[in-house]
């Protein structure tokens, strides 16, 4: 790649492809692959990621909200799209754009049927979400009779899949809890299938579920973070490649004398001479203020430059006293090394949060190896 001359997020599509093939190798050939591209494809670019994955042969896409699905349809993507957390206000749009809702409560079920009836739908595909322990969204087992009686009264909807979501698939100390969730889902799925009289697609695993619970792959897996290059463990991070590299440049270098201060609120007071570099990226771009005052760092010429003072909206200042660098030199915020996982550890956060925080004003640049 040519040197960055402004802040950019580089997306390596070869790494995306490699991650996909690795994750595919973990599931049976007949198991369907759903790629999660919510939140702008985990902060990268949902459309570009989706197009590349469709070309690789994925079966399904998922987003969180209806507008995210609309963007994919506007870009010409035609494969089925599951909307994980739709709101009733958007049900008409959802149907108009052939998006498929997760139906997660009796209230949502009733409201969706009402809209589907108004729009004269027949057998509109829906996905029933069951709560098996995450306690976030989903029906309980004892809602099955309500669901069945709702389905009996209408021919507008048809259950295409039934699914649940694991609460701690990455945490092997919670194995017993996870196995209990899986068992719970099996019980729900068999009761539902028996009462429906046909077999919906069953799915439960996110990335860490794919890697840690092969017995729970069912008919389809829902993969997000793994495609973007993170395995939620040291062991699996080795097998995956972060697709996104956040790069910037040095805008200006300052010589700070002993006793001077740097940045807003004069948060940094110099105790000896130092050199700082100002970098055009700030908290509006996803660099949380929590990284300020020596907590976070960037990489310049392979060396760590820690953040000096408070993170500004559009800039950070970093300590380059010991680094031989010039204005215009490249700066790495995260990428393959240091990865988003390493960077976020300093503020007790996770890769997911940093990736999805990269602001939309930062240009995405795509490349292959
Ligand atoms: C975001 C999400 C996923 C993807 O999880 P990863 O850990 O990123 O693989 C899967 N299922 C549901 C319901 C989600 O909300």
Cβ–Cβ < 8 Å for 364, 45: yes
Cβ–Cβ < 8 Å for 196, 148: yes
**Tokens 């099955």 correspond to what residue?**
144
Q: How far is the CA of 213 from the centre of ligand 1 (A)?
A: 15
Report the SS3 class of residue 110.
Answer: helix
- Check 24, 38, 129, 241 and give the catalytic one: 38
**Tokens 């958007």 correspond to what residue?**
90
Q: Which of 239, 222, 219, 183 lies closest to 28 in space, CA to CA?
A: 219
Centroid of chain to Cα 272? 42
Per-residue tokens: 232: 């939620």
CA 234, 238, 244, 247 torsion-angle sign: positive
Q: Give the ligand 1 atom nearest the CA of 165.
A: 13
Q: Which of 222, 229, 352, 355 to mutate to test the pocket of ligand 1 (most atoms within 8 A of CB)?
A: 222
What's residue 3's pLDDT? 85
- Pocket flag, ligand 1, residue 225 (CB < 6 Å): yes
Per-residue tokens: 159: 């259950």
Per-residue tokens: 255: 């010589």
- Pocket flag, ligand 1, residue 241 (CB < 6 Å): no
Report the SS3 class of residue 161.
Answer: strand
For residue 338, say if its preceding peptide bond is cis, omega within 30 degrees of 0: yes
Q: Judge residue 215's burial from the number of C-beta atoms within 10 Å of its C-beta, 0-12 exposed, 13-18 middle, 19 or more buried.
A: exposed
Q: At CB < 8 A and 24+ separation, what contacts does 74-80 make?
A: 75/47, 75/50, 75/51, 77/47, 77/50, 77/51, 79/54, 80/125
Q: Which class would CATH give 31-228?
A: alpha beta
- Pocket flag, ligand 1, residue 69 (CB < 6 Å): no
- Pocket flag, ligand 1, residue 37 (CB < 6 Å): no
What's residue 151's pLDDT? 96
In this predicted model, what pLDDT tens digit does every residue of 133-154 receive, in sequence order? 999 999 999 999 999 999 999 9
pTM of the entire predicted model: 0.97
Q: Give the ligand 1 atom nearest the CA of 222.
A: 10
Q: At CB < 8 A and 24+ separation, what contacts does 93-96 make?
A: 93/66, 94/66, 94/69, 95/119, 95/121, 95/124
What's residue 2's pLDDT? 76
Ranges of the chain with pLDDT below 70 = none
Q: How far is the CA of 169 from the centre of ligand 1 (A)?
A: 11
Count CB-CB contacts under 10 A for residue 187. 12
Q: What is the C-alpha to C-alpha distance for residues 164 and 134, in angstroms, rounded to an integer? A: 9
What's residue 1's pLDDT? 78
Residue intervals of the chain classified under CATH 2.40.37.10 are 244-367
Q: Which of 112, 90, 219, 108 lies closest to 157 in space, CA to CA?
A: 112
Q: Which of 20, 26, 84, 351 to mutate to test the pocket of ligand 1 (most atoms within 8 A of CB)?
A: 84
What's residue 168's pLDDT? 98
Q: How far is the CA of 206 from the centre of ligand 1 (A)?
A: 5
Contacts of residue 174, Cβ cutoff 8 Å, sequence gap at least 6: 167, 168
Q: How far is the CA of 286 from the centre of ligand 1 (A)?
A: 21
Residue intervals of the chain classified under CATH 3.20.20.10 are 31-228
Q: How far is the CA of 62 from the centre of ligand 1 (A)?
A: 9
Per-residue tokens: 175: 């194995």
Homologous superfamily of 244-367:
Lyase, Ornithine Decarboxylase; Chain A, domain 1 (2.40.37.10)
Q: What is the C-alpha to C-alpha distance for residues 277 and 73, in angstroms, rounded to an integer? A: 43
- Pocket flag, ligand 1, residue 216 (CB < 6 Å): no
Any catalytic annotation for residue 264?
A: yes
b/e for 298-310, b at 16 or more Cβ within 10 A? Answer: bbbeeeebbbbbb
User: Helices 66-74 & 46-56, crossing angle to 10 degrees?
Assistant: 70
Q: Which of 57, 350, 55 lies closest to 207 in space, CA to CA?
A: 350
Q: What is the C-alpha to C-alpha distance for residues 303 and 82, in angstroms, rounded to an integer? A: 43
- Check 110, 258, 264, 303 and give the catalytic one: 264
């Amino acid at each position: 790649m040519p040197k960055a001359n402004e802040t950019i997020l580089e997306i390596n599509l070869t790494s995306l492809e490699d991650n996909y093939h690795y994750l595919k190798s973990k599931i049976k050939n007949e198991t369907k692959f759903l790629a999660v591209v919510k939140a702008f494809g985990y902060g990268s670019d949902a459309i570009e990621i989706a197009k590349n994955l469709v070309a690789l042969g994925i079966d399904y896409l998922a987003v969180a909200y209806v507008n995210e699905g609309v963007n994919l349809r506007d870009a010409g993507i035609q494969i089925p799209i599951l909307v994980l957390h739709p709101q009733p206000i958007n049900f008409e749009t959802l149907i108009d754009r052939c998006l498929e809702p997760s139906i997660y409560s009796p209230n949502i079920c009733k409201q969706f049927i009402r809209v589907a009836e108004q729009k004269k739908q027949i057998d509109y595909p829906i996905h029933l979400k069951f709560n098996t322990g995450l306690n976030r969204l989903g029906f309980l087992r004892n809602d099955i009779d309500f669901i069945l009686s709702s389905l009996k009264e209408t021919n507008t909807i048809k259950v295409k899949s039934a699914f649940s979501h694991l609460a701690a698939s990455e945490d092997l100390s919670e194995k017993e809890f996870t196995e209990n969730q899986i068992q719970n889902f099996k019980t729900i799925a068999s009761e539902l299938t028996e009462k429906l009289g046909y077999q919906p697609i069953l799915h439960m695993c996110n990335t860490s579920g794919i890697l840690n619970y092969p017995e729970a792959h069912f008919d389809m897996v829902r993969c997000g973070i793994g495609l973007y290059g993170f395995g939620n463990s040291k062991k699996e991070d080795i097998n995956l490649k972060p697709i996104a590299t956040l790069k910037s440049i040095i805008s200006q270098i300052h010589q700070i004398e002993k006793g001077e201060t740097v940045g807003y609120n004069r948060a940094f007071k110099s105790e000896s001479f130092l050199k700082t570099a100002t970098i055009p990226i700030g908290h509006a771009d996803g660099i949380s203020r929590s990284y300020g005052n020596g907590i976070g760092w960037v990489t310049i010429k392979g060396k760590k430059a820690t953040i000096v003072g408070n993170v500004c909206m559009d800039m950070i200042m970093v300590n380059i006293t010991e680094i031989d660098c010039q204005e215009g030199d490249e700066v790495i915020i995260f990428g393959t090394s240091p990865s988003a996982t390493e960077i976020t550890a300093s503020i007790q956060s996770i890769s997911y949060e940093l990736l999805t925080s990269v602001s939309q004003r930062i240009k995405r640049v795509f490349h292959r190896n």
